[in-house]
Amino acid sequence: MQNNTSKMVALLGKIRKQMNGAVLDTFRYYGAKYGMNYGVAIHSLRDMAREVGTDDSLSQFLFLQQVRELQIIAFWIADPLSVTEDTFDMWADRVINSELAEQAAQGLLCKIETIDALLDRWCSSGNELAAYAALLAASRSDKISDKAVQRAVNNTVTHFSDNHLAAQGLSRLLSAEIVKNRALVADILASLPDNKTANSVREEIAWQLEY
C-alpha cells in the first residue's frame, strides 16, 4: 500500500508532464504567488484528483508542500466531513489567494454540512479571501439556509465595505439565490447599506431581478 510520500511523488510525475509555461507566465504577470507552480490547467488537476478519490490524510499532506498543483488537488480529495467548526481556522489559513479560494469553494466547501456556520465565521472574520471562498461555496451549496444567506450579506457588507472580492462573492451568492427564493433576494437588496461593496452588489443584482 502506498504511503502519502509515494502518492505525492506519483502526482508530481503527472504534474511535470503537463507543465505549461504560457500559463505560468500569466500567473507571474498577475502576481499569483506560490512556492512552486507548474502552470497545469485546473481541469487536468481535477482529473488527477478524481483518480485519487477521497483521501483526507493525503489532502493534509499535500497542503504542506507549497506547490500550487498539489494544494489545488488537496481541496478536491479532502473529505467534506472533515470540515467542522473546529477546523475552520485551519482551512482559512490555506486560502492564500483568490485561485485557491475558488478551488476550495468548488472542490470542498460547497459540499460540507456546516456551510451556515462557515459563512457566519468567515464573513465576519476580516479575512477577505476566506469570506470570498465561503460566499462562493454557499452559492453552490444545497444545504445553505435563508437566514444564513441574510446574515452573510449583512456581515460581509459590514466587514468589507469597499472590497471587490467581497462584492463578487456576494453577487455570485445572490444570483444563485434568485432561482431559489426571488423574494428573499429582493428584500436583501432593498436593505443593503450605502457603501461601495453594497452598491456594487446592488448594481449587479438589480437587473437580474427584472427578468
Residue 132 has what pLDDT?
98
Q: What is the CA radius of gyration of the chain?
A: 18
pLDDT the model gives residue 36: 85
What pLDDT does 89 receive? 94
First and final C-alpha spacing in the chain: 56
* pLDDT recorded at residue 29: 39
Those residues whose C-beta lies under 8 Å from the C-beta of residue 133, and which sit 6 or more positions away, are 95, 100, 101, 102, 104, 105, 109, 122, 169
> How high is the mean pLDDT of the chain?
92
pLDDT of residue 195: 97
Cell, residue 167: 462584492
For the chain, list residues with pLDDT below 70: 1, 21-33
Task: Check: CB of residue 102 under 8 Å from CB of residue 136.
Answer: yes
Give the pLDDT score at 32: 59
**What pLDDT does residue 1 have?**
52
**182-191 and 146-159 helices cross at what angle (nearest 10)?**
30
